[in-house]
Structure 1
Amino acid sequence: MEVNSCPQKLLAEMLGTAVLVFIGVGSVPATAIVGGDAPFTMAQLGMISLAFATAVIAMVHAIGHVSGCHINPAVTLALAATRNLPWREVPGYIAAQFAGAVIGALAIVGVLGHQAVDAGLGIAAYGPGVGAGQAFLAEAVGTFILVLVVLGAVGRRADGGFAGLAIGFAVFAVIIPVAPVTGSAINPARALGPMITGELFGGTVHWAQLPVYLLAEGVGAVAAGAVHAVLKARPSAAAVRMPEPVSEGAAS
Protein backbone atom coordinates (compact mmCIF):
# COMPACT_ATOMS: atom_id res chain seq x y z
CA MET A 1 0.00 0.00 0.00
CA GLU A 2 1.41 3.38 -1.02
CA VAL A 3 1.96 5.91 1.73
CA ASN A 4 2.37 9.58 0.91
CA SER A 5 5.30 11.47 2.36
CA CYS A 6 4.88 14.05 5.11
CA PRO A 7 5.60 17.00 2.75
CA GLN A 8 2.96 15.69 0.34
CA LYS A 9 0.38 15.45 3.13
CA LEU A 10 1.14 18.93 4.42
CA LEU A 11 1.01 20.43 0.92
CA ALA A 12 -2.34 18.74 0.34
CA GLU A 13 -3.71 20.11 3.61
CA MET A 14 -2.49 23.61 2.82
CA LEU A 15 -3.98 23.58 -0.68
CA GLY A 16 -7.23 21.99 0.48
CA THR A 17 -7.74 24.55 3.23
CA ALA A 18 -6.87 27.37 0.82
CA VAL A 19 -9.53 26.16 -1.61
CA LEU A 20 -12.09 25.81 1.19
CA VAL A 21 -11.47 29.39 2.32
CA PHE A 22 -11.31 30.87 -1.17
CA ILE A 23 -14.57 29.26 -2.29
CA GLY A 24 -16.51 29.06 0.97
CA VAL A 25 -15.42 32.22 2.74
CA GLY A 26 -15.05 34.03 -0.59
CA SER A 27 -18.71 33.40 -1.34
CA VAL A 28 -19.65 35.70 1.57
CA PRO A 29 -18.17 38.97 0.19
CA ALA A 30 -19.06 37.87 -3.34
CA THR A 31 -22.71 37.64 -2.26
CA ALA A 32 -22.50 41.06 -0.61
CA ILE A 33 -20.91 42.61 -3.70
CA VAL A 34 -23.48 41.16 -6.10
CA GLY A 35 -26.41 41.90 -3.79
CA GLY A 36 -25.38 45.47 -3.08
CA ASP A 37 -27.54 47.14 -0.46
CA ALA A 38 -30.33 44.55 -0.75
CA PRO A 39 -31.30 42.81 2.51
CA PHE A 40 -29.51 39.52 3.17
CA THR A 41 -31.87 36.59 2.57
CA MET A 42 -32.08 32.90 3.44
CA ALA A 43 -31.57 32.14 -0.25
CA GLN A 44 -28.20 33.91 -0.11
CA LEU A 45 -27.28 32.00 3.04
CA GLY A 46 -28.19 28.82 1.23
CA MET A 47 -25.86 29.65 -1.65
CA ILE A 48 -23.02 30.41 0.77
CA SER A 49 -23.65 27.10 2.53
CA LEU A 50 -23.63 25.33 -0.82
CA ALA A 51 -20.30 26.95 -1.72
CA PHE A 52 -18.73 25.57 1.46
CA ALA A 53 -20.28 22.14 0.89
CA THR A 54 -19.14 21.82 -2.71
CA ALA A 55 -15.62 22.93 -1.79
CA VAL A 56 -15.46 20.23 0.89
CA ILE A 57 -16.83 17.52 -1.41
CA ALA A 58 -14.37 18.45 -4.16
CA MET A 59 -11.39 18.48 -1.81
CA VAL A 60 -12.30 15.15 -0.20
CA HIS A 61 -12.08 13.53 -3.62
CA ALA A 62 -9.07 15.57 -4.73
CA ILE A 63 -6.75 15.16 -1.74
CA GLY A 64 -8.46 12.67 0.56
CA HIS A 65 -6.22 9.87 -0.68
CA VAL A 66 -3.13 11.99 0.03
CA SER A 67 -3.67 13.47 3.49
CA GLY A 68 -7.15 12.41 4.55
CA CYS A 69 -8.46 15.90 3.70
CA HIS A 70 -8.88 17.18 7.23
CA ILE A 71 -8.62 20.87 6.15
CA ASN A 72 -9.78 21.73 9.67
CA PRO A 73 -7.65 21.69 12.85
CA ALA A 74 -10.70 20.55 14.82
CA VAL A 75 -10.94 17.43 12.66
CA THR A 76 -7.21 16.80 13.02
CA LEU A 77 -7.49 17.12 16.79
CA ALA A 78 -10.42 14.70 16.94
CA LEU A 79 -8.68 12.14 14.74
CA ALA A 80 -5.61 12.27 16.97
CA ALA A 81 -7.71 12.01 20.12
CA THR A 82 -9.42 8.89 18.73
CA ARG A 83 -6.07 7.34 17.72
CA ASN A 84 -6.73 7.64 14.00
CA LEU A 85 -3.75 9.98 13.53
CA PRO A 86 -0.37 9.97 15.30
CA TRP A 87 -0.01 12.96 17.62
CA ARG A 88 3.42 13.69 16.11
CA GLU A 89 1.69 14.66 12.84
CA VAL A 90 -0.77 17.07 14.45
CA PRO A 91 1.48 20.20 14.63
CA GLY A 92 2.41 19.94 10.95
CA TYR A 93 -1.18 19.39 9.85
CA ILE A 94 -2.48 22.33 11.86
CA ALA A 95 0.31 24.66 10.70
CA ALA A 96 -0.40 23.72 7.07
CA GLN A 97 -4.12 24.33 7.55
CA PHE A 98 -3.59 27.77 9.09
CA ALA A 99 -1.16 28.70 6.30
CA GLY A 100 -3.66 27.51 3.70
CA ALA A 101 -6.43 29.57 5.28
CA VAL A 102 -4.33 32.73 5.01
CA ILE A 103 -3.45 31.92 1.40
CA GLY A 104 -7.11 31.34 0.57
CA ALA A 105 -8.13 34.64 2.16
CA LEU A 106 -5.37 36.45 0.27
CA ALA A 107 -6.70 34.90 -2.93
CA ILE A 108 -10.15 36.34 -2.16
CA VAL A 109 -8.67 39.84 -1.99
CA GLY A 110 -6.64 39.18 -5.13
CA VAL A 111 -9.69 38.12 -7.12
CA LEU A 112 -12.43 40.39 -5.72
CA GLY A 113 -10.23 43.36 -4.83
CA HIS A 114 -10.44 45.60 -1.78
CA GLN A 115 -14.22 45.69 -2.05
CA ALA A 116 -14.12 42.18 -0.57
CA VAL A 117 -12.44 43.66 2.51
CA ASP A 118 -14.99 46.45 2.60
CA ALA A 119 -17.72 43.80 2.47
CA GLY A 120 -16.25 42.06 5.53
CA LEU A 121 -14.09 39.42 3.78
CA GLY A 122 -16.27 36.71 5.29
CA ILE A 123 -14.55 37.18 8.66
CA ALA A 124 -16.38 35.25 11.35
CA ALA A 125 -17.95 37.50 13.99
CA TYR A 126 -20.83 37.42 16.44
CA GLY A 127 -24.24 38.36 15.12
CA PRO A 128 -26.17 41.35 16.48
CA GLY A 129 -26.97 40.93 20.16
CA VAL A 130 -24.98 37.69 20.47
CA GLY A 131 -22.83 37.25 23.57
CA ALA A 132 -19.78 35.08 24.20
CA GLY A 133 -21.78 32.30 25.86
CA GLN A 134 -24.24 31.93 22.99
CA ALA A 135 -21.42 32.11 20.45
CA PHE A 136 -19.45 29.45 22.32
CA LEU A 137 -22.43 27.10 22.38
CA ALA A 138 -23.18 27.65 18.68
CA GLU A 139 -19.60 26.94 17.58
CA ALA A 140 -19.23 23.97 19.93
CA VAL A 141 -22.48 22.36 18.75
CA GLY A 142 -21.75 23.04 15.08
CA THR A 143 -18.23 21.65 15.32
CA PHE A 144 -19.48 18.65 17.29
CA ILE A 145 -21.96 17.73 14.55
CA LEU A 146 -19.42 18.21 11.76
CA VAL A 147 -16.67 16.20 13.45
CA LEU A 148 -19.05 13.42 14.46
CA VAL A 149 -20.10 13.06 10.82
CA VAL A 150 -16.47 13.07 9.69
CA LEU A 151 -15.48 10.34 12.14
CA GLY A 152 -18.46 8.23 11.20
CA ALA A 153 -18.13 8.75 7.44
CA VAL A 154 -14.46 7.73 7.30
CA GLY A 155 -14.80 4.76 9.67
CA ARG A 156 -14.13 1.22 8.54
CA ARG A 157 -17.78 0.23 8.81
CA ALA A 158 -19.03 3.26 6.83
CA ASP A 159 -20.40 2.93 3.30
CA GLY A 160 -17.48 3.40 0.94
CA GLY A 161 -17.39 6.31 -1.49
CA PHE A 162 -19.90 8.56 0.29
CA ALA A 163 -17.67 10.33 2.81
CA GLY A 164 -17.35 13.46 0.68
CA LEU A 165 -21.10 13.84 0.28
CA ALA A 166 -21.82 13.14 3.94
CA ILE A 167 -19.25 15.65 5.18
CA GLY A 168 -20.14 18.27 2.59
CA PHE A 169 -23.83 18.11 3.37
CA ALA A 170 -23.07 18.21 7.10
CA VAL A 171 -21.23 21.49 6.51
CA PHE A 172 -24.17 22.77 4.46
CA ALA A 173 -26.67 21.85 7.17
CA VAL A 174 -24.68 23.20 10.11
CA ILE A 175 -24.10 26.60 8.50
CA ILE A 176 -27.83 27.30 8.17
CA PRO A 177 -28.63 27.58 11.92
CA VAL A 178 -25.18 28.59 13.18
CA ALA A 179 -24.25 31.33 10.68
CA PRO A 180 -26.67 33.97 12.05
CA VAL A 181 -25.01 33.56 15.48
CA THR A 182 -21.28 33.36 14.69
CA GLY A 183 -20.83 33.21 10.94
CA SER A 184 -20.45 29.44 11.43
CA ALA A 185 -16.68 29.10 11.40
CA ILE A 186 -16.70 25.52 12.87
CA ASN A 187 -13.04 25.46 11.82
CA PRO A 188 -10.19 27.27 13.64
CA ALA A 189 -8.26 27.80 10.38
CA ARG A 190 -11.31 29.26 8.64
CA ALA A 191 -11.74 31.61 11.60
CA LEU A 192 -8.13 32.79 11.89
CA GLY A 193 -7.03 32.98 8.23
CA PRO A 194 -9.49 35.68 7.12
CA MET A 195 -8.86 37.59 10.36
CA ILE A 196 -5.13 37.81 9.64
CA THR A 197 -5.74 38.82 6.04
CA GLY A 198 -8.42 41.32 7.02
CA GLU A 199 -6.01 42.92 9.49
CA LEU A 200 -3.35 43.21 6.77
CA PHE A 201 -5.77 45.06 4.48
CA GLY A 202 -7.38 47.31 7.07
CA GLY A 203 -10.58 45.37 7.58
CA THR A 204 -12.67 45.13 10.74
CA VAL A 205 -11.46 42.27 12.94
CA HIS A 206 -12.85 41.43 16.37
CA TRP A 207 -9.76 39.80 17.83
CA ALA A 208 -11.32 39.51 21.29
CA GLN A 209 -13.79 36.98 19.86
CA LEU A 210 -11.12 34.64 18.48
CA PRO A 211 -10.45 32.73 21.76
CA VAL A 212 -14.14 31.84 21.99
CA TYR A 213 -14.07 30.39 18.47
CA LEU A 214 -10.89 28.38 19.06
CA LEU A 215 -11.92 27.03 22.46
CA ALA A 216 -15.48 26.17 21.41
CA GLU A 217 -14.32 24.37 18.29
CA GLY A 218 -11.73 22.43 20.26
CA VAL A 219 -14.31 21.40 22.86
CA GLY A 220 -16.81 20.39 20.17
CA ALA A 221 -14.19 18.30 18.36
CA VAL A 222 -13.04 16.44 21.48
CA ALA A 223 -16.64 15.83 22.56
CA ALA A 224 -17.44 14.38 19.14
CA GLY A 225 -14.42 12.11 19.40
CA ALA A 226 -15.55 10.86 22.81
CA VAL A 227 -19.11 10.20 21.62
CA HIS A 228 -17.88 8.44 18.49
CA ALA A 229 -15.65 6.20 20.60
CA VAL A 230 -18.68 5.18 22.68
CA LEU A 231 -20.82 4.55 19.62
CA LYS A 232 -18.29 2.31 17.89
CA ALA A 233 -17.18 0.41 20.99
CA ARG A 234 -17.83 -3.30 20.64
CA PRO A 235 -19.42 -5.15 23.57
CA SER A 236 -17.06 -7.31 25.58
CA ALA A 237 -17.14 -11.08 25.26
CA ALA A 238 -18.62 -11.32 28.75
CA ALA A 239 -21.44 -8.97 27.82
CA VAL A 240 -22.49 -11.01 24.77
CA ARG A 241 -21.97 -14.49 26.25
CA MET A 242 -25.14 -16.55 25.92
CA PRO A 243 -26.48 -18.10 29.13
CA GLU A 244 -25.80 -21.81 29.50
CA PRO A 245 -28.85 -24.07 29.22
CA VAL A 246 -30.30 -25.10 32.55
CA SER A 247 -30.21 -28.84 33.20
CA GLU A 248 -33.34 -30.68 34.24
CA GLY A 249 -31.83 -31.44 37.60
CA ALA A 250 -31.09 -27.81 38.30
CA ALA A 251 -34.58 -26.79 37.31
CA SER A 252 -36.24 -29.27 39.61
Structure 2
Amino acid sequence: MEENTYPQKLLAEMLGTAVLVFIGVGSVPATLIVGGDAPFTMAQLGMISLAFATAVIAMVYAIGHISGCQINPAITLALAATKKMPWRDVPGYIAAQVAGAVLGALAIVGVLGKKAVDVGLGIAAYGTGVGAGQAFFAEAIGTFILAFIVFGAIDRRAAGGFAGLAIGLGVFAIIIPVAPATAASINPARTLGPMITGELFNGTVHWDQLPVYLAAEVIGAIAAGVLYTALNAHRKAAAATAAENRAAQPASAEGALS
Protein backbone atom coordinates (compact mmCIF):
# COMPACT_ATOMS: atom_id res chain seq x y z
CA MET A 1 0.00 0.00 0.00
CA GLU A 2 1.32 3.42 -0.93
CA GLU A 3 2.30 5.70 1.95
CA ASN A 4 1.95 9.47 2.13
CA THR A 5 5.09 11.57 1.97
CA TYR A 6 6.65 13.01 5.11
CA PRO A 7 5.66 16.61 4.22
CA GLN A 8 2.08 15.45 3.69
CA LYS A 9 2.10 13.82 7.12
CA LEU A 10 3.44 16.98 8.75
CA LEU A 11 0.79 19.11 7.05
CA ALA A 12 -1.91 16.71 8.22
CA GLU A 13 -0.60 16.83 11.80
CA MET A 14 -0.53 20.62 11.74
CA LEU A 15 -4.08 20.81 10.39
CA GLY A 16 -5.36 18.17 12.81
CA THR A 17 -3.87 19.89 15.85
CA ALA A 18 -5.18 23.26 14.68
CA VAL A 19 -8.70 21.85 14.45
CA LEU A 20 -8.37 20.20 17.87
CA VAL A 21 -7.34 23.50 19.48
CA PHE A 22 -9.84 25.65 17.57
CA ILE A 23 -12.81 23.45 18.43
CA GLY A 24 -11.75 22.00 21.78
CA VAL A 25 -9.92 24.91 23.37
CA GLY A 26 -12.17 27.39 21.57
CA SER A 27 -15.20 25.88 23.29
CA VAL A 28 -13.86 27.19 26.63
CA PRO A 29 -13.96 30.94 25.86
CA ALA A 30 -17.11 30.43 23.78
CA THR A 31 -18.83 28.91 26.82
CA LEU A 32 -17.64 31.69 29.10
CA ILE A 33 -18.67 34.42 26.67
CA VAL A 34 -22.16 32.97 26.18
CA GLY A 35 -22.56 32.26 29.90
CA GLY A 36 -21.53 35.73 30.96
CA ASP A 37 -21.32 36.14 34.73
CA ALA A 38 -23.29 32.96 35.45
CA PRO A 39 -21.48 30.34 37.59
CA PHE A 40 -19.64 27.64 35.64
CA THR A 41 -21.58 24.37 35.75
CA MET A 42 -21.01 20.65 35.14
CA ALA A 43 -23.24 20.94 32.09
CA GLN A 44 -20.83 23.47 30.59
CA LEU A 45 -17.88 21.22 31.40
CA GLY A 46 -19.70 18.41 29.65
CA MET A 47 -20.16 20.51 26.52
CA ILE A 48 -16.47 21.45 26.51
CA SER A 49 -15.53 17.79 26.91
CA LEU A 50 -17.84 16.92 24.04
CA ALA A 51 -16.22 19.56 21.83
CA PHE A 52 -12.78 18.05 22.43
CA ALA A 53 -14.09 14.53 21.89
CA THR A 54 -15.85 15.28 18.61
CA ALA A 55 -12.81 17.15 17.30
CA VAL A 56 -10.60 14.16 18.05
CA ILE A 57 -13.04 11.68 16.51
CA ALA A 58 -13.42 13.78 13.37
CA MET A 59 -9.68 14.22 12.91
CA VAL A 60 -8.86 10.53 13.48
CA TYR A 61 -11.15 9.61 10.61
CA ALA A 62 -10.07 12.58 8.48
CA ILE A 63 -6.27 12.26 8.72
CA GLY A 64 -5.58 9.05 10.60
CA HIS A 65 -4.78 7.26 7.35
CA ILE A 66 -2.39 10.05 6.36
CA SER A 67 -0.28 10.75 9.43
CA GLY A 68 -1.72 8.55 12.16
CA CYS A 69 -3.48 11.60 13.64
CA GLN A 70 -1.23 11.76 16.66
CA ILE A 71 -1.86 15.54 17.12
CA ASN A 72 -0.15 15.30 20.51
CA PRO A 73 3.65 15.46 21.09
CA ALA A 74 3.34 13.22 24.15
CA ILE A 75 1.76 10.49 22.02
CA THR A 76 4.43 10.98 19.34
CA LEU A 77 7.21 10.58 21.91
CA ALA A 78 5.53 7.51 23.41
CA LEU A 79 5.23 5.88 19.98
CA ALA A 80 8.90 6.58 19.27
CA ALA A 81 9.99 5.34 22.70
CA THR A 82 8.21 2.03 22.05
CA LYS A 83 9.64 1.73 18.52
CA LYS A 84 6.31 2.22 16.78
CA MET A 85 7.67 5.17 14.78
CA PRO A 86 11.24 6.23 13.89
CA TRP A 87 12.90 8.87 16.06
CA ARG A 88 13.96 10.76 12.93
CA ASP A 89 10.30 11.66 12.32
CA VAL A 90 9.70 12.99 15.84
CA PRO A 91 11.11 16.56 15.54
CA GLY A 92 9.03 17.32 12.46
CA TYR A 93 5.86 15.88 13.97
CA ILE A 94 6.24 17.87 17.19
CA ALA A 95 7.05 21.09 15.32
CA ALA A 96 3.98 20.60 13.11
CA GLN A 97 1.76 19.88 16.11
CA VAL A 98 2.91 22.96 18.04
CA ALA A 99 2.58 25.15 14.94
CA GLY A 100 -0.93 23.80 14.42
CA ALA A 101 -1.83 24.52 18.04
CA VAL A 102 -0.71 28.13 17.65
CA LEU A 103 -2.71 28.47 14.43
CA GLY A 104 -5.77 26.98 16.12
CA ALA A 105 -5.48 29.42 19.02
CA LEU A 106 -5.05 32.34 16.62
CA ALA A 107 -8.20 31.19 14.84
CA ILE A 108 -10.08 31.35 18.15
CA VAL A 109 -9.08 35.00 18.54
CA GLY A 110 -9.97 35.65 14.90
CA VAL A 111 -13.48 34.24 15.37
CA LEU A 112 -14.33 35.34 18.93
CA GLY A 113 -12.21 38.48 19.08
CA LYS A 114 -10.41 40.00 22.06
CA LYS A 115 -13.19 38.75 24.34
CA ALA A 116 -11.72 35.27 24.00
CA VAL A 117 -8.43 36.54 25.44
CA ASP A 118 -10.21 38.47 28.17
CA VAL A 119 -11.89 35.30 29.46
CA GLY A 120 -8.65 33.30 29.37
CA LEU A 121 -8.51 31.85 25.81
CA GLY A 122 -8.79 28.36 27.29
CA ILE A 123 -5.16 28.56 28.44
CA ALA A 124 -4.35 25.64 30.74
CA ALA A 125 -3.69 26.64 34.34
CA TYR A 126 -3.97 25.13 37.80
CA GLY A 127 -7.38 25.24 39.43
CA THR A 128 -8.00 27.17 42.63
CA GLY A 129 -5.98 25.74 45.49
CA VAL A 130 -4.13 23.26 43.24
CA GLY A 131 -0.36 23.02 43.72
CA ALA A 132 2.38 21.79 41.40
CA GLY A 133 2.38 18.26 42.82
CA GLN A 134 -1.35 17.77 42.44
CA ALA A 135 -1.26 19.31 38.96
CA PHE A 136 1.59 17.01 37.91
CA PHE A 137 -0.30 13.96 39.15
CA ALA A 138 -3.52 15.03 37.42
CA GLU A 139 -1.86 15.64 34.05
CA ALA A 140 0.25 12.49 34.28
CA ILE A 141 -2.77 10.31 35.09
CA GLY A 142 -4.91 11.93 32.40
CA THR A 143 -2.25 11.58 29.70
CA PHE A 144 -1.45 8.03 30.82
CA ILE A 145 -5.07 6.98 30.32
CA LEU A 146 -5.26 8.74 26.96
CA ALA A 147 -2.04 7.15 25.68
CA PHE A 148 -3.05 3.70 26.92
CA ILE A 149 -6.33 4.02 25.02
CA VAL A 150 -4.45 5.14 21.90
CA PHE A 151 -2.06 2.19 22.03
CA GLY A 152 -4.94 -0.24 22.49
CA ALA A 153 -7.10 1.34 19.79
CA ILE A 154 -4.37 1.24 17.14
CA ASP A 155 -3.33 -2.33 17.96
CA ARG A 156 -3.78 -4.47 14.84
CA ARG A 157 -5.84 -6.92 16.95
CA ALA A 158 -8.31 -4.22 18.02
CA ALA A 159 -11.77 -4.05 16.47
CA GLY A 160 -11.40 -2.33 13.12
CA GLY A 161 -12.85 1.12 12.49
CA PHE A 162 -13.42 2.10 16.11
CA ALA A 163 -10.11 3.79 16.99
CA GLY A 164 -11.47 7.30 16.53
CA LEU A 165 -14.53 6.62 18.64
CA ALA A 166 -12.54 4.95 21.42
CA ILE A 167 -9.96 7.74 21.60
CA GLY A 168 -12.57 10.50 21.38
CA LEU A 169 -14.72 9.02 24.12
CA GLY A 170 -11.58 8.53 26.20
CA VAL A 171 -10.80 12.23 25.88
CA PHE A 172 -14.37 13.08 26.89
CA ALA A 173 -14.16 10.90 30.00
CA ILE A 174 -10.70 12.09 31.06
CA ILE A 175 -11.59 15.79 30.91
CA ILE A 176 -14.47 15.45 33.38
CA PRO A 177 -12.38 14.58 36.49
CA VAL A 178 -9.09 16.23 35.46
CA ALA A 179 -10.30 19.62 34.19
CA PRO A 180 -11.09 21.08 37.64
CA ALA A 181 -7.45 20.52 38.63
CA THR A 182 -5.52 21.54 35.50
CA ALA A 183 -8.02 22.22 32.68
CA ALA A 184 -7.09 18.71 31.45
CA SER A 185 -4.59 19.71 28.81
CA ILE A 186 -3.11 16.17 28.47
CA ASN A 187 -1.32 17.39 25.34
CA PRO A 188 1.88 19.52 25.21
CA ALA A 189 0.81 21.18 21.94
CA ARG A 190 -2.60 22.08 23.38
CA THR A 191 -0.73 23.50 26.40
CA LEU A 192 1.76 25.55 24.38
CA GLY A 193 -0.40 26.87 21.52
CA PRO A 194 -2.86 28.91 23.60
CA MET A 195 -0.05 30.07 25.90
CA ILE A 196 1.98 31.46 22.99
CA THR A 197 -1.09 33.08 21.45
CA GLY A 198 -2.22 34.45 24.79
CA GLU A 199 1.18 36.06 25.27
CA LEU A 200 0.91 37.70 21.85
CA PHE A 201 -2.41 39.28 22.84
CA ASN A 202 -1.36 40.26 26.38
CA GLY A 203 -3.43 37.54 28.04
CA THR A 204 -2.70 35.96 31.41
CA VAL A 205 -0.17 33.16 30.98
CA HIS A 206 1.35 31.21 33.87
CA TRP A 207 4.66 30.28 32.25
CA ASP A 208 6.00 28.93 35.54
CA GLN A 209 3.43 26.11 35.28
CA LEU A 210 4.54 25.02 31.81
CA PRO A 211 7.36 22.67 32.92
CA VAL A 212 4.95 20.76 35.16
CA TYR A 213 2.48 20.30 32.31
CA LEU A 214 5.10 19.20 29.79
CA ALA A 215 6.90 16.81 32.15
CA ALA A 216 3.71 15.20 33.42
CA GLU A 217 2.23 14.74 29.96
CA VAL A 218 5.37 13.23 28.43
CA ILE A 219 6.05 10.94 31.41
CA GLY A 220 2.42 9.82 31.56
CA ALA A 221 2.28 8.98 27.85
CA ILE A 222 5.60 7.13 27.76
CA ALA A 223 4.68 5.16 30.89
CA ALA A 224 1.44 4.07 29.21
CA GLY A 225 3.29 3.06 26.05
CA VAL A 226 5.86 1.06 27.98
CA LEU A 227 3.15 -0.70 30.00
CA TYR A 228 1.10 -1.56 26.93
CA THR A 229 4.21 -2.85 25.16
CA ALA A 230 5.10 -4.94 28.22
CA LEU A 231 1.63 -6.50 28.21
CA ASN A 232 2.04 -7.39 24.55
CA ALA A 233 5.58 -8.67 25.03
CA HIS A 234 4.28 -11.30 27.45
CA ARG A 235 1.66 -12.36 24.92
CA LYS A 236 4.21 -12.54 22.12
CA ALA A 237 6.50 -14.64 24.26
CA ALA A 238 3.66 -17.03 25.03
CA ALA A 239 2.76 -17.22 21.33
CA ALA A 240 6.39 -17.93 20.42
CA THR A 241 6.57 -20.73 23.00
CA ALA A 242 3.36 -22.26 21.64
CA ALA A 243 4.76 -22.08 18.10
CA GLU A 244 7.98 -23.80 19.20
CA ASN A 245 5.97 -26.55 20.88
CA ARG A 246 3.91 -27.09 17.73
CA ALA A 247 7.09 -27.26 15.65
CA ALA A 248 8.59 -29.81 18.03
CA GLN A 249 5.59 -32.17 18.01
CA PRO A 250 6.04 -33.57 14.45
CA ALA A 251 9.73 -34.23 15.15
CA SER A 252 8.82 -36.26 18.27
CA ALA A 253 6.31 -38.26 16.29
CA GLU A 254 8.88 -39.07 13.62
CA GLY A 255 11.35 -40.22 16.29
CA ALA A 256 8.76 -42.56 17.77
CA LEU A 257 8.11 -44.16 14.39
CA SER A 258 11.76 -44.68 13.45
Q: TM-score, normalised by structure 1?
A: 0.94
Partner residue, 1:193: 193
Q: Which amino acid aligns with 2:10?
A: L
Cα drift, residue 82 of structure 1: 1.4
Partner residue, 1:9: 9
In the TM superposition, what are the counterparts of 1:47-126 in structure 2 within 5 Å? 47-126=47-126
Q: For structure 1, which runs of at least 5 residues remain unmatched after alignment?
A: 245-252
The superposition leaves residues 145-175 of structure 1 with CA deviations (integer Å, 9 ceiling, x where unpaired) of 0000001100111100000000000000000
Q: For structure 2, which runs of at least 5 residues remain unmatched after alignment?
A: 250-258
Partner residue, 1:228: 228
Cα drift, residue 238 of structure 1: 4.6
Structure 1 residue matching 2:237: 3-state secondary structure: coil
Q: Which amino acid aligns with 2:44?
A: Q
Distance change >3 Å, CA 238–CA 65, structure 1 → 2: closer
CA distance in 1, matches of 2:191, 2:48: 16
Number of aligned pairs?
Answer: 243
The superposition leaves residues 120-156 of structure 1 with CA deviations (integer Å, 9 ceiling, x where unpaired) of 0000000000000000000000000000000110011
Provide the aligned C-alpha RMSD in A.
1.3
Cα drift, residue 84 of structure 1: 1.1
More helix by share: 2
The superposition leaves residues 194-213 of structure 1 with CA deviations (integer Å, 9 ceiling, x where unpaired) of 00000000100000000000
Aligned-pair identity in percent equals 77
In the TM superposition, what are the counterparts of 1:155-234 in structure 2 within 5 Å? 155-233=155-233, 234=236
In the TM superposition, what are the counterparts of 1:238-249 in structure 2 within 5 Å? 238=241
CA distance in 2, matches of 1:55, 1:75: 17
Q: Which amino acid aligns with 2:103?
A: I
The superposition leaves residues 25-60 of structure 1 with CA deviations (integer Å, 9 ceiling, x where unpaired) of 000000000000000000000000000000000000
Q: TM-score, normalised by structure 2?
A: 0.92
Q: Which amino acid aligns with 1:122?
A: G
CA distance in 2, matches of 1:91, 1:8: 15
Cα drift, residue 239 of structure 1: 7.9
1:33 aligns with 2:48: no
Partner residue, 1:22: 22
Q: Which amino acid aligns with 1:136?
A: F
CA distance in 2, matches of 1:14, 1:238: 43
Structure 2 residue matching 1:107: 3-state secondary structure: helix
Cα drift, residue 235 of structure 1: 2.8
Distance change >3 Å, CA 156–CA 42, structure 1 → 2: same
